[in-house]
């Protein structure tokens, strides 16, 4: 039993190591088409975005519609660090730190959104987040230092498959552990019934702050990866449309589910690429897919359920027990 237990403890670093090595060798060899590699990286970035928004919209049951704003803050912060603060030669070494700093800047912005969420929920909070998205976009458009509406140029291509894998895995691991912790239970209890959560002694203010900050942190990380993959960011890349895209991936995959976020991000990103030959028509087909999904499967592909691998082993024991009793 001890061997099994220690093997389980090593599982997380082992997967991380093998995954990094694998993605490193793939991107250095010519085995995989560059285009396919690019799409895979987009899937990874979109996964981080989807999972982070799912934390707020799916697990906590709030309705945040301006998620791209956190992406923007992460993207601009990290880009300033790699371009202005450190010279390009230092860039590759500084990159992971820049990504994390971008995430932290976003987390601070998340704190701002957490405050109105103490008082308001539902549609009203949605409007607040929408307004926040517009405000930040206008600020970026009007600050010359950030390039204004022309966008920010001169970003080096520092995002590689390895980094995308690394940060996707970190997002998955951190959010999984958060969701199955006592805090995570608190998050779900707020979704189910906030008053009942309060009288169970859940410190709902603390939970909301933590959740909004964690969610925006990973959105910032995704934004930083996005900026250093595309090598160009402009306020337009982080408008309401981008926020809507993230929302679509969340609801397509399934709310309150990590597996749903994996599926939502992959299906949406890959399908959009596959439909590329159709040109502008893909923007007709994608919404139609969504309309049908909402009619026939409103909970999304997975809908509140979870793949076994994403459930911590301590929780699994209970689930297995379920059928025996």
Partner 1 sequence: MNKQIILSVKDLSVSYGNINAVNGITFDVTEGQIVTLIGANGAGKTTLLRAVSGLIPYEGTVSFSGINLKGKTPHEIISGGITHVPEGRAIFGTLTVMENLELSAWVVKDKGIYRERLRHIFSLFPKLEERKKQLSGTLSGGEQQMLAIGRAIMTGGSLMLLDEPSMGLSPLLVKEIFKVILDINKSGKTILLVEQNANMALHIANYGYVLETGKIVFHGSKEVLSGNPKIREAYLGV
Strand, helix or coil at 233?
strand
Per CB under 8 A, the list member of 54, 189, 216, 243 interacting with partner 1 is 189
The pair of three-digit structure tokens given for residue 301, joined into one six-digit string: 């592909």
Using CB under 8 A as the binding criterion, the count of chain residues that bind partner 1 stands at: 26
The window from 50-58, 150-158, 189-197, 245-253 that contacts partner 1 (CB under 8 A) reads 189-197
Q: How far apart are the C-alpha atoms of 169 and 23, rounded to whole Å?
A: 12
201 contacts partner 1 (rule: CB under 8 A): yes
Beta carbon of residue 191, minimum distance to partner 1 (angstroms, whole number): 8
Tell me the torsion sign for CA atoms 292, 296, 301, 304.
positive
Query: 14 to 53, contacts with partner 1 by CB under 8 A?
Result: none
Beta carbon of residue 253, minimum distance to partner 1 (angstroms, whole number): 17
312 contacts partner 1 (rule: CB under 8 A): no
202 contacts partner 1 (rule: CB under 8 A): yes
Q: Which residues contact 205 (CB under 8 A, 6 or more apart)?
A: 118
Q: How far apart are the C-alpha atoms of 301 and 52, rounded to whole Å?
A: 18
186 contacts partner 1 (rule: CB under 8 A): yes
Query: 61 to 120, contacts with partner 1 by CB under 8 A?
Result: none
144 contacts partner 1 (rule: CB under 8 A): no
Beta carbon of residue 123, minimum distance to partner 1 (angstroms, whole number): 21
Using the minimum distance from each CB to partner 1, give the nearer residue, 169 or 180: 180
Beta carbon of residue 206, minimum distance to partner 1 (angstroms, whole number): 8
280 contacts partner 1 (rule: CB under 8 A): no
Beta carbon of residue 311, minimum distance to partner 1 (angstroms, whole number): 12
Count how many Cα atoms sit within 13 Å of the Cα of residue 245 in the half-sphere of its side chain: 22
**Which contacts (CB < 8 Å, 24+ apart) does range 139-147 have?**
140/72, 140/76, 140/235, 140/238, 141/235, 146/76, 146/80, 147/234
Q: Which residues contact 158 (CB under 8 A, 6 or more apart)?
A: 82, 91, 92, 95, 228
Beta carbon of residue 323, minimum distance to partner 1 (angstroms, whole number): 8
Per CB under 8 A, the list member of 16, 174, 198, 267 interacting with partner 1 is 198
Q: How far apart are the C-alpha atoms of 316 and 218, rounded to whole Å?
A: 26
The window from 168-176, 180-188, 219-227, 287-295 that contacts partner 1 (CB under 8 A) reads 180-188
Tell me the torsion sign for CA atoms 127, 130, 132, 138.
negative
Per CB under 8 A, the list member of 25, 143, 203, 287 interacting with partner 1 is 203
Say if residues 226 and 264 touch (Cβ distance below 8 Å).
no
199 contacts partner 1 (rule: CB under 8 A): yes
> x/- site string to partner 1, residues 228 to 267, per CB under 8 A?
----------------------------x-----------
First to last CA, the chain: 24
Beta carbon of residue 180, minimum distance to partner 1 (angstroms, whole number): 10
φ, ψ of residue 61 to 5 degrees: the values are 75, 15
Q: Which residues pair with 152 in a beta bridge?
A: 233
Picking from 245, 218, 208, 221, the residue whose alpha carbon sits closest to that of residue 125 is: 208
The window from 19-27, 63-71, 73-81, 193-201 that contacts partner 1 (CB under 8 A) reads 193-201
Which residues of this chain interact with partner 1, rule CB under 8 A? 182, 185-186, 188-189, 191-193, 195-205, 256, 304, 318-319, 321-322, 325
């Amino acid at each position: 039993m001890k061997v099994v237990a220690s093997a389980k403890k090593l599982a997380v670093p082992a997967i991380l190591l093998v995954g990094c090595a694998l993605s490193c060798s793939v991107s250095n060899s010519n085995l995989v088409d560059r285009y396919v590699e690019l799409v895979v990286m987009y899937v990874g970035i979109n996964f981080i975005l989807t999972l982070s928004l799912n934390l707020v919209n799916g697990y906590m049951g709030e309705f945040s519609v301006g998620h791209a704003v956190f992406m923007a803050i992460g993207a601009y912060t990290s880009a300033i660090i790699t371009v202005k603060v450190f010279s390009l030669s230092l860039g590759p070494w500084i990159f992971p730190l820049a990504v994390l700093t971008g995430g932290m800047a976003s987390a601070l912005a998340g704190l701002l959104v957490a405050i109105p969420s103490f008082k308001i929920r539902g549609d009203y909070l949605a409007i607040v987040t929408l307004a926040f998205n517009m405000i930040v976009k206008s600020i970026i458009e009007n600050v010359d230092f950030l390039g204004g509406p022309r966008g920010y140029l001169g970003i080096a291509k520092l995002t590689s498959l390895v980094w995308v894998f690394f940060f996707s895995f970190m997002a998955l691991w951190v959010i999984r552990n958060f969701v199955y912790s006592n805090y995570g239970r608190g998050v779900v209890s707020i979704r189910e019934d906030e008053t009942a959560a309060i009288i169970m002694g859940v410190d709902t203010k603390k939970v909301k702050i933590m959740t909004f900050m964690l969610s925006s942190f990973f959105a910032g990380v995704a934004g930083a990866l996005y900026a250093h993959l595309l090598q160009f960011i402009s306020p337009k890349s982080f408008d309401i449309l981008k926020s809507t895209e993230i929302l679509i991936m969340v609801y397509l995959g399934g709310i309150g589910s990590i597996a749903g976020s994996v599926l939502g991000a992959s299906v949406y990103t890959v399908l959009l690429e596959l439909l590329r030959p159709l040109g502008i028509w893909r923007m007709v087909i994608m919404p139609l897919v969504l309309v049908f999904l909402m009619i026939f499967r409103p909970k999304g592909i997975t809908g509140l359920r979870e793949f076994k691998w994403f459930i911590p082993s301590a929780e699994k024991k209970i689930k297995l027990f379920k059928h025996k009793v």
